[in-house]
Structure 1
Amino acid sequence: MIRSIDLNADMGEGFGPWKLGDDDALLDIVSSANIACGMHAGDWDTMARTMRMAAERGVGIGAHPGFADLQGFGRRRIDMPVASIANLVAYQVGAARGIAAACGARLRHVKLHGALANMAATDETLAQACFEAALKAAPGITIMAMAATAQARAAQELGCPTAFEIFADRSYEDDGTLMDRRRAGAVIHDPDRAADRVLQMLDTGAIITHGGGRIPCRIDTICLHGDTPDALRMAETIAARLTRAGIAIRPFPEAVG
């Protein structure tokens, strides 16, 4: 069993006066924050506020770029040229890097959001274009890639610092991709069940699929979604179970490749 693991959450997904999720409370538990960059959610004020809170707690700050789709929360697939998607990623990573610097903080990683992430999980060319764009906008940044997918292969091909990610609150298909949210059982709401799965995956060094299959992979970070009603209780339960198992929650090393 590993001795430490990164626990990340998507946050900063409010907009203007509308808040989504309890970012303040989550930042007391997680070790990395993936902060929306104003396209699928968030805005400059929300980014700055969330980054300041993360920096105050020593939580690693990441950019969370997605499609320009506020109404669909970035979860609708959009047909765009790969070059345009790469520019969209660079635009958001550059904004996140600038806001972080203005807050006296540093952008540490990038993680694709929603439909864009799912598309890149099956399309290595798209994943590589997104990651190359992010690395050009923020040289030396760590890529947070979905383990055992085209994202992971693209990051390995680039040879860049990479943190391989599994999901606590999502079910997996047999090919290692996430189940469509529209399917029953795709989103896991029971914190104890999520914690059981996380510990099993860490213990076996493999993704556990919805059908019970195992896909061996390296695991550097665990994600939970900050926009769900169960997010805080999920984070508290997983953190407690990890601690009881002797696993510390710490940001992933930036030198991982």
Structure 2
Amino acid sequence: MSAASSTAVRRRLGRSVQYVLLAVVALIPLFPLYWLLISAMKTPAEFSQIPPTWFPSMPALEPTITALTAVPFVQSMLNSIIIAGGATISVLVTSILAGYVFAKHQFRGRDALFWGIIATMFLPPIVTIVPLYYLVSSMGLSDTYLGVLLPWLANAFGIFLMRQFIQDIPDELIEAARMDGAGEFRIVWQFVVPLLKPAIVTLAVFMFVYAWNNFLWPLSILKSEALYPVVLTLNRLMSYTMSFEYQNVVLAGAVIASLPTLLVFLVTQRVFVAGIAASGVKG
């Protein structure tokens, strides 16, 4: 065998090993999702079987039906969509506007104000939950959608992310728009926003998933079960099915609750990855 052929064989072998390692690394985080899905389709007898089965012999829909009927799951999904969607839209708007001001406007105390906002990122949520609760309650917004949304109307990370991206937009573009008579809001929405697509999608995914999965604040401020987001309803479902033989119902509810966030990621994955890569390059 010639040297060139030996080199080609070694390269193919090395590439094959790399593919195998990448497949193993990819399967590790996907395994819990797979186990969640198959467990939600098992019968109670098969779910409690030892050793466990790797695939249900007869996939069952009864756990999913029970999860949907035992608690108001559909209503809670709509509540989560309202809460997570409202928080995401609000954070995008406030982050873009604030990021534009911090990136392209000079005013006294700008840097001190910006770094003060960034400092709030390092406060644990548990530290702010009591003052937030008293603030929202004093405004008469407890047990309302707006009361849940109020702490999420703006986000320090979103402001930081947008500022970093907007800083790279040439000042000449903005000055040219001003010379053409465009106001600041028109400059933002017509000239700046189209250049922020990766950052907007990245922030939207992060905020939607965070608001969808948040448990402690809705639990603190909501009293009516009709307003519960899906994470609180899922917790109620766990209390409803404390017996081990009904844990497949809980897992079926977890699968249903996970679908919107998985769908959001699948729809936006290309732009999301590009946004993450760009933000990583910016440091």
**Which one has a bigger Cα radius of gyration?**
2
Q: TM-score, normalised by structure 1?
A: 0.24
Q: TM-score, normalised by structure 2?
A: 0.23
Which structure's relative contact order is higher, taking Cα pairs within 8 Å and 6+ residues apart?
2
Comparing both structures, which one devotes a greater share of its residues to strand? 1
Comparing both structures, which one devotes a greater share of its residues to helix? 2
